[in-house]
Amino acid sequence: MVVTEIPSQKVLGSNRQIYKQLQLALKLGLRRQVFVAVCDDLRLRDRIVRRLETDLQIPDELRASQTVGRTTPQGPPFVSLQIDANHPNPFERIREWFRERDGSGGPLPSFQIVGVEHLTRATPAVQWSFLNGLEEIEDDELGDRLDPVGECTVLLWVSRPWCHTIEQSAPDFWRCRTGVFEFEGEPTPVLYWETGQDDRPRQQPEPQQPRERDLTPSSSAKQSEGAKVATEKGVWEGSPQEHRVGSAPEKRPSVATQTVGERQTAAIALKASQTGVEATTVAPRKREESQEQAIPTSSSIPDVLIELVLASAESLGRSGANDPEAEANGSFAPLQLLQQIEELHLQRADRAELAAAYLNLGNFYRNLLESGQIEQAIAQGSTANVAPEALPQCLMVAILTYEQVLQFLEPEAAVGVELANDLGNFYWMLSRYSSDLEEKHFNLERGIAAYRQGLKRIDPVRQGEAWGMIQNNLGALYGELARDRDPVENLEKSVAAYCQALEQRRVQMEAGDEQASRRYSATQNNLGTAYWNLAQHRQPARHLKEAIAAYQEALAYYSAEKQPLDYAMIQNNLGTAYWNLAQYEQPKDNLMLAIAAYQVALTYRTPEQMPLPCAATQNNLGTAYWHLANHSQREPEARAHFLDRAIAAYRGAIENIHSAIGSEEALSPVPIPGLPFDRFATYNNLGLAHYQRIADGMPLTDPDERSPHLEAALDAHLQALAGSRDRPELSKTALSYVVQTIRAFYKYLGIQGQNRALSKVPPHLLSEIVGRL
């Protein structure tokens, strides 16, 4: 029975009729019923789930009368269970429920299973495990009268994409279904949930945050490109929600110590720090200060600024990070500048003189940060006399000093725009050294407030370049804040800021500004990433299409020959957006478009130039082919072809990792800095692709083909098992696939094949595996 109706937020109208039919079907109390409820709107689904829990609870006084063959009516008649994302067999989840109650008496309950939507971004291995679990419905074990699961009624909640996948990939389950109830509602994307390192597939764009970086590749740019996805923990390449890339905000050029009137106005990128200091030694000011409130004028240097300058002198070894002039005379320039400022305060100097003096002090730290000398010195370790805390200390000094400049600066001074932009940039950088989440948010909010102050000083018509620069940076900080707080609200603000930046940059392009097209395309990429993130929270199909449009617009202004790495990055992002859209509509068409984009990206992301990003794109390509194979269940030849392509892509990803860092390190369970995906999850996916390639019904030119596929599958799963020994969940999953593969050896190659497989198993695992066989 398939019922379709008009959407309703409160299960009214036609949805109410469907609900009544579902409720009646469950109230009949028939055994061995399998119902499928389809609902894309998770909020509506949750309301229906709770309503069923309420409506189907039988009053205690009536339970005993309905108990058949039981002595104590203790079991609830209707139970809601959340599917286990790591072991998503719904029938095993029900068995676990019975085991927890240790065979206690009572009527057999009915069960509703929720949470299948979380498997959308799970690894192919986990998704396959779920579908395989559904096929148990016709197994002898499930039909055993001693197994209560076979006697229960089960209601499985799924989305429409999952409903189609189950129909194609779990035909036995679909054939045994009793009824399908379809509720209408707007699709709701599933938010990511964090459980430490895991192997869930996540395919997510690479942002350029919080500004578009200088697109001229350099050694540092190449390193940053690889680091863009370094924090991704799943199979898919890194998420804009999870990146901690080293791209810095748009900034102005370095300046020597000078008066306010001599300050330059052009904007360039300041290199951001990528060192891992956990916290600053001096906490930022308390949140009680209004984010956009000016600091009151003072008659002396703030104590906290003096303390920070002294602390930075100690951390930098009083050399200004190997400043030759400072080393020659044994002095530290900021201490001398502090003395000059103190003298100006004592002399009651005018505001312009004080602003110029503070500006000189701020410029010293700004130039020091931009030069990259501190990072280089810290990277040298014990050979350099620079402490790791020097970077956050210097950022705090620059922030406090520039805020003093703004305090004494005339409101109409043009340099205030540049100072506000710099302040926003410094706060963004400082947020990366905040070990406390509240402190991080505070720094991001201060950065946003600084950018907004800068915008108040700008006439967008006369200062279009500055307006676009700050709006771009503002969009990036809103996106950063959205990772942890009010994601929809902050992402919408991020999109609005990027759109404001694009309006001005479009005007600049039309005016013939040669650099404007590069800034425009970079902001389009940022806009695409913001839309992609927004799609994870609301209106997924609409926002994914907007992300695709933004990425395509960005590509129109990139030259694959002149900017191959950036062109490849955006092609990868485009492929990611198409892959995500395939979960909501036209799966085959969108997966083919995703594959095409990944293949273009791999033309320029070569193993020689960028081995780790290349491996990440190959990994994405493999999973896209895997999903395409899943959508080709009724086309065995096409499915076999797509699985072969998935195998080749996964294997290419693994080979690139080995060639880039060496086999010993690649096989070590220790996480590899800069590696943009979970290599051991990729081993599992490779093994599963080999396993499915020889499954029943797959075309083989020679039965002997099964043996190489089984050997490769077992080797891959054993590598995943060895590499995940410190990660219990992934290790448990890998072990289950080792057992599955050894069973296939026996099924296809007999006892000799099984013995050959067991000979490859590490001795300490033999007893456990043999027991499970």
Q: Provide the residue ranges of all domains of the chain, joining segments of one domain with +.
A: 2-183, 255-454, 570-773
Q: Are 518 and 463 in contact (CB under 8 A)?
A: no
The whole-angstrom separation of Cα 746 and Cα 749 is 5
The whole-angstrom separation of Cα 573 and Cα 237 is 9
CATH T-level fold of 570-773 = 1.25.40
Closest CA to 606 of 78, 307, 222: 222
pLDDT at site 73 = 38
Name residues of the chain where pLDDT drops below 70.
Answer: 1-13, 58-76, 102-106, 125, 138-147, 188-299, 318-331, 379, 381-384, 696-697, 700-703
Q: Is 189 left (phi over 0), alpha (psi -120 to 50) or beta?
A: beta
Which tokens hold the place of 735?
A: 């072990």
Q: Write the single-letter amino acid at 138.
A: E
Q: Write the single-letter amino acid at 600.
A: V
Closest CA to 183 of 35, 8, 1: 8
Looking at the domain that runs over 2-183, which CATH code has it been given?
3.40.50
Segment holding 628, helix H or strand E: helix 611-630
pLDDT at site 578 = 97
The whole-angstrom separation of Cα 723 and Cα 717 is 10
Q: Are 654 and 684 in contact (CB under 8 A)?
A: no
pLDDT at site 104 = 60
Place of tokens 């990803």: 653
CATH topology of 2-183 equal to that of 570-773?
no
pLDDT at site 228 = 31
Place of tokens 């709006």: 471
The whole-angstrom separation of Cα 289 and Cα 74 is 58
Q: Are strands 250-251 and 268-269 parallel, antiparallel or unpaired?
A: antiparallel
Q: Is 314 helix (H, G, I), strand (E, B) or coil?
A: helix
pLDDT at site 138 = 63
φ, ψ for residue 237, nearest 5 deg: -70, 150
Chain center to CA of 292: 31
Asked if the peptide bond before residue 124 counts as cis, ω within 30 degrees of 0, the response is no
